[in-house]
Amino acid sequence: MSFYVPERVIRLLCGKAAFERGSEDYEAGKVRLAAVENYEGLEYSKYQATVYGLEPYDITLTIDSDGDVNGKCSCPAYSHGGPFCKHIAAVLVSILYTEEDVDGQSSGMEPDEVRSNPQNVADDSNDRFLVSSMLGLFENNRQRPSGAGAYVDVRIPLEMEFICKPFAYNFGNRMLGLELKVGPKRLYIVQKIRAFLERVHRGEPFEFSKHFMYDPTLHCFKKEDNAVLLKLIEILLNERIYQGNAAPYSSYSGSMGGERVLAIPPFFWESLLPVLGASSSVHWQAGDTVTAGIPIENGLPKLSFQFDEAEEKGYRLDITGLAQLTVMEDYGLVLSESKLLKLPVQECIRLSELKRMLAESRTNGIVIAPGQMETFMDKVIPGLKKLGQVHIAAAIADRIVQTQLQARLYLDRVRDRLLAGLEFQYGTIVVNPLEEQMRDRGDEVILMRDSETEQRILDLMAHESFARTDSGYIMNDEEGEYDFLYHTIPLLEPLLQVYATTAVKLRVPTGTYIPKASLTWNEKTDWLDFKFGMDGIPESDIVLVLKSLQEKRKYYRLPDGALLPLETAEFQEIIALINELGMGTADIPGAEFSLPLIQGLHLDADTGKGGTDAIRIGRSFRRLLANMHSPENLDFPLPETLAPVLRDYQQYGFQWLKTLAHYRFGGILADDMGLGKTLQSIAFLLSELEDIRKTGLPALIVAPASLLYNWQNELKRFAPQIQAAIADGNLTERSRTLRNAAGCDVVITSYPLLRRDVELYVKRSFHTLVLDEAQVIKNHATQTAQAVKALQARYRFALTGTPVENALEDLWSIYGVVFPGLFPGKKAFHDLPRETVARRIRPFLLRRLKSDVLKELPEKIESLQASELLPEQKKLYVAYLARLRKEALKHLDSDEFGNGFGNGRIKVLAGLTRLRQLCCHPALFVDGYTGGSGKFEQLLEIIEECRSSGKRMLIFSQFTEMLGMISRELGLQGISHFYLDGHTPASKRVELCGLFNEGERDLFLISLKAGGTGLNLTGADTVILYDLWWNPAVEQQAADRAHRIGQKKVVQVIRLIAQGTVEDKMYELQQKKKNLIDEVIEPGQEALSSLTEQDIREILMI
């Protein structure tokens, strides 16, 4: 019988809450009793179980006859000494109800009934077994690991023994294999090693004998032994792949080594060896000798090579000890006297091949002809010394001539051709290495040549421009001649003596030619002056030298025929400067020229400090570069009221704005959304307040209409001394505000109102122009962009978290307003490489990401949640998709489609919007639709789950009708929430955000376009994007309403997508085009909004 405790005791042990939650888990079928052991003599029962939730947890319980319970659980909530967790409660409830059922069954059927109906009992038992098996098959059980747990593991650790040994296969070849012994105390030989490893891999029992069975629920292996087992399982799986693909009669068609041995392929040996070395259970067996561990040593095998004179003419090499060696070349091992010797693979191959050759010739010696002896001594002897001991008889040693190599190279120029000859001299013996026939030196001399040095020389002389003759080399290529004289000769000089004629020496300049360049800032003209000079070079050749540098020539031929190298550090530093300045060959009129200051502003302040003194940067220009690179150098004083408020990176941003203004440059503050671009701009305006009032020129802030009051509130909050006025209302009111602008410090207006009142604004001058959300003017051809460009202001700055949304042309348009001289015209801009654009904007674009500057800001976790269309919803979607494809095919190839304004394009884009609405909810435009929506139901489930977890949510959708449907459903469920769309007044928006951030209500429905920018909603920690937008930057802005300064929690962003629909394709398209601008702007930008014909084809799959 099994022991258990009643419900009253479970409540006392676990507490009310844990008991109730545990009972729910039991009722939900989350408890599985894995093992029950009854010890009736000791009067206690032991249970092992698993409770499944977000992840499975393992529980071990013992219950004795007195009702005492000891338990352990692998969940983090369980702690020794305290109340039991809900998982232990669930198992105790499961045991209680199981035992009550057993007691009820035994009392409900008399023994006579059982005996009279044996078939019924058998059938019932069989059915229960099948049901149990089906449950086990389809249950998501977590397999117990074979290794012992790191913390608590009540299983019995087994002892193991691994025996590594060589075995023969495939006609005498040798491989390494492993045998196993396993047991609790007594070790059992694993007779079928592959079957055993398979069971361990699958977490199933394996029977050794009637006395012992390996059971993964009861047994485990030590950490080091388990590591070996896992590696062997990997080898087994690899072996099966080979067996499955091998021919029926190949060596892999069966189990190499037999059933007890697992062959170790050479490929696995290097990774297996460290694992074997870490286990104390590993032994090595060679023949009858068994030793602990794997005895691998470094050293030479016991081989002897004897050189002596042959009985007849010539010489003889005798080899002893080779037959006693077993060479396993693929492992890089040699078995010698029960030990393993590690040799380089090449030496193993040579040793194996030598053994094969001698075996085939059935001899232990080789006869060497006199004419072969020099080559043999030169090539073979060094290799034999790496394999064993080499002994040379005295009679041979006396004939060996071994002196130092004296190599010579002779160079000459004849008829514009370079001629070269080589000589190798050993004592009195001179060798031309190119001659086919070597001079016969007879039997009395054996010349030991320095073949390694000779080969290095010959390799260097194998120049691609040299043609080889019978006795020398010839070259008629000037570029090849320069490369040989200036690059190859320096490599040859340590190896030989070079003898050159006067004609060759004239090709090497004898004078000192040091180039010098200077770059200075002419503050009167505001241009840069570039000067280049070089002693010893005529003025007429200076420009030609510069152009040769531009053309990436390696040398310049001087008038006297000498080849002047242009690859020196000095020349390379100068050409790097010219390239950095963006100068082409046609832009260099002479040795001195001027260029606009803008072209040099991206240079580093350390330019010209490369250690060569080839470049001199003027002091004033270097100071300008240093200040642009480190804005804090000028150390402008912070406004006193904001000094305690500004973070370090915001103080840097303030200094950057002030530095640009100091030099009358414009710029883009492109900090990540939520990093306080508004605050940094207010700090700048506050610092300029005295100058604004002195000149009578107010600052002008242009922002989206939804942010006008936000700017006013921020100015009141951080700089109450600034008098700000909003230019809105009717025309009369707006005109009055502008007429009275001299009486205020800052005028705030919107882009639409500026476009409407442009005539009023262009008549005035402003101290500072601040363009908030400047991506609004990314299209230079719009009336808004043209109106902004017409404004007159001393200082100009753009604020945007997404300076590039669609293409690099966005940058050109914005800089055309804030820094008109930075880029050329539109056509010339398109011809600039991205690298050039990136270099040019570097000083005038400040971009910081949250991850860079706000280490205390928690991270943002983004996920994708897919839902299926409901059947009725899917029918509508498929029908509409078919109709749209037909319509699209009609228009896609027409001329009007490509221009972006044709009716066909408008119809296709409108059709895509309808498809997206069907994914959201067909009731958005299908009259009388009474069915449901898969995505809508999924949203309600997520809302319920988030509310139960205490999450606070922002739900964004671009369709206000969809937000209305969500709002109505929430109202029916009694869930209070806030709502914001384009009709919400600007003053009301700020109030709603404040209430939400203060903790009132846990859900905020927001229109993507109306609330995607400018709002601070750090009270939320979950952002749900109900539908995708073409431009992921808009989605990013929406998510950053919560993930910004002041956020203390991890923000989760959930995107809802209808699977298998246009939303899937939209997401793919977003990912494909996501990194378009990353090479120019720092990471964090995404770009997409205008759809091409190809994009539409991909979305509709046509």
| Structure confidence by residue, pLDDT tens digits, 241-295 | 877 655 544 444 446 778 899 999 999 999 999 999 999 999 999 888 899 999 8
Question: Residue for token digits 């699977």?
Answer: 1059
Percent of the chain with pLDDT over 90: 30
Q: What is the pLDDT of residue 902?
A: 59
Helix/strand/coil percent split, the chain, to 5: 40, 25, 35
Q: 211 φ, ψ to 5°? A: -95, -20
**Greatest C-alpha distance within the chain:** 126
Q: What is the pLDDT of residue 44?
A: 81
Q: What is the Cα–Cα distance from 674 to 1037, expressed in whole angstroms?
A: 9
Q: What is the Cα–Cα distance from 957 to 421, expressed in whole angstroms?
A: 82
Worst-scoring range by mean pLDDT, 28-42, 884-898, 938-952? 884-898
Burial of 971 (0-12, 13-18, 19+ CB in 10 A): exposed
Q: What is the pLDDT of residue 895?
A: 56
Q: What is the pLDDT of residue 1087?
A: 36
The topology under which CATH files domain 860-1100 is: Rossmann fold (3.40.50)
Which token pair is 148? 């012992």
Provide Rg for the chain, Cα atoms: 43
Q: What is the Cα–Cα distance from 403 to 406, expressed in whole angstroms?
A: 9
Q: What is the pLDDT of residue 498?
A: 93
Higher pLDDT, 411 or 634: 411
Burial of 903 (0-12, 13-18, 19+ CB in 10 A): exposed
pTM (predicted TM-score): 0.47
Mind listing the pLDDT tens digit for each residue in 904-921? 777 888 888 899 999 999
pLDDT band for position 572 (cuts 50, 70, 90): confident
For residues 186, 187, 189, 194, the Cα torsion angle rounded to the nearest 10 degrees is: 130
Q: What is the pLDDT of residue 148?
A: 66
- 362 phi-psi bin (left φ>0, alpha ψ -120 to 50, beta other): left
Higher pLDDT, 189 or 617: 189
* Structural element, H or E, at residue 38: strand 31-39
Alpha-carbon distances, residue 255 vs 174, 238, 259 (angstroms)? 15, 12, 7
Average pLDDT on 876-882 reads 92
Asked whether the beta carbons of 625 and 607 are under 8 A apart, the reply is yes
β strands within 228-272, DSSP E: 262-264
Q: What is the pLDDT of residue 901?
A: 44
Decide if pLDDT at 105 tops 90.
no
The residues facing 555 across adjacent strands are: 565
Asked whether the beta carbons of 704 and 772 are under 8 A apart, the reply is yes
Which token pair is 778? 């990314």
Which token pair is 499? 């003898």
Show Cβ contacts of residue 1044 under 8 Å, excluding neighbours closer than 6 positions: 673, 674, 675, 850, 857, 1016, 1018
Q: What single-letter amino acid sits at 22?
A: G
Q: What is the pLDDT of residue 490?
A: 92
Asked whether the beta carbons of 64 and 74 are under 8 A apart, the reply is no
Q: What is the pLDDT of residue 709?
A: 77
Q: What is the Cα–Cα distance from 41 to 802, expressed in whole angstroms?
A: 76
Give residue 427's Cα distance to chain centre: 62
Asked whether the beta carbons of 477 and 465 are under 8 A apart, the reply is yes
- Cβ neighbour number for residue 227 with a 10 Å cutoff: 18
Worst-scoring range by mean pLDDT, 302-316, 482-496, 899-913? 899-913
Worst-scoring range by mean pLDDT, 315-319, 716-720, 828-832? 828-832
Report which of 118, 292, 60, 256 is spatially closest to residue 176, judged by C-alpha positions: 256
Average pLDDT on 600-629 reads 77
Common-topology check for domains 634-853 and 860-1100:
yes
Decide if pLDDT at 128 tops 50.
no
Q: What is residue 1100's DSSP assignment?
A: H
Average pLDDT on 996-1000 reads 90
Worst-scoring range by mean pLDDT, 271-285, 318-332, 585-599, 657-671? 585-599
Average pLDDT on 618-647 reads 85
Decide if pLDDT at 10 tops 80.
yes
Counting DSSP H helices and E strands in the chain, the numbers are 40, 48
Decide if pLDDT at 113 tops 80.
no
Alpha-carbon distances, residue 146 vs 159, 233, 237, 262, 472 (angstroms)? 13, 12, 17, 19, 71
Which token pair is 628? 């642009």
Domain 634-853 top-level CATH class:
alpha beta
Q: What is the Cα–Cα distance from 31 to 44, expressed in whole angstroms?
A: 21
Q: What is the pLDDT of residue 906?
A: 77
pLDDT band for position 359 (cuts 50, 70, 90): confident
Show Cβ contacts of residue 145 under 8 Å, excluding neighbours closer than 6 positions: 220, 226
Sequence spans of domains, the chain: 7-108, 117-142, 156-294, 297-398, 406-505, 515-628, 634-853, 860-1100
Average pLDDT on 821-847 reads 84
Average pLDDT on 1006-1018 reads 79
Decide if pLDDT at 1078 tops 60.
no
Q: What is the pLDDT of residue 481?
A: 92
Give residue 97's Cα distance to chain centre: 52
Helix 86-108 to helix 16-27 angle (10° resolution) is 60
Q: What is the pLDDT of residue 117?
A: 43
Helix 708-718 to helix 986-997 angle (10° resolution) is 60
Average pLDDT on 370-383 reads 78
Helix 1062-1073 to helix 903-920 angle (10° resolution) is 110
Decide if pLDDT at 484 tops 70.
yes
Burial of 1080 (0-12, 13-18, 19+ CB in 10 A): buried
Q: What single-letter amino acid sits at 1015?
A: L
- Averaged pLDDT score across all residues of the chain: 82
Higher pLDDT, 778 or 151: 778
Q: What is the pLDDT of residue 275?
A: 93
Angle at 248 between CA 246 and CA 253, to 5 degrees: 60
Higher pLDDT, 744 or 248: 744
Q: What is the Cα–Cα distance from 93 to 111, expressed in whole angstroms?
A: 29
Mind listing the pLDDT tens digit for each residue in 679-738? 999 999 999 999 999 999 999 999 988 678 778 888 998 999 999 999 988 999 999 999
Mind listing the pLDDT tens digit for each residue in 533-556? 887 777 778 778 888 887 888 988
